[in-house]
Amino acid sequence: MMVLGDASIDQLYVRPGWQGRGIGSRLLALATERRPGGFELFAFQVNEVARRFYERHGLTVVDMNDGARNEEGEPDVLYRWTPGV
């Protein structure tokens, strides 16, 4: 499941039993097609699997936060995908 905003991926989730089958990669590819100027997304810092996935797909860390900006209060990381980078 992916929720794509104007300049961000608001949610990206692949059920654990379906991970590793290319679904997340296809969703990110769709996001790059639909937002060719780039986009941002947040992930929790503790979610190392998601972070490796995003970094492997060319997203870069823009900012890290102590959790004050999300309702869970969980430290997060802001990623950005920029075309050509």
Contact 75, 33 (CB under 8 A): no
| Digit-coded pLDDT (tens) for 8-60 | 999 999 999 999 999 999 999 999 999 999 999 999 999 999 999 999 999 99
Strand partners, 11: 3
* pLDDT given at position 38: 96
pTM: 0.91
- pLDDT over threshold 80, residue 85: no
**83 band by pLDDT with thresholds 50, 70 and 90:** very high
| Domains of the chain with CATH codes | 2-81 (3.40.630.30)
Cα gap 44→65, rounded to integer Å: 9
Helix (H) or strand (E) holding 43: strand 39-44
**5 band by pLDDT with thresholds 50, 70 and 90:** very high
Contact 22, 44 (CB under 8 A): no
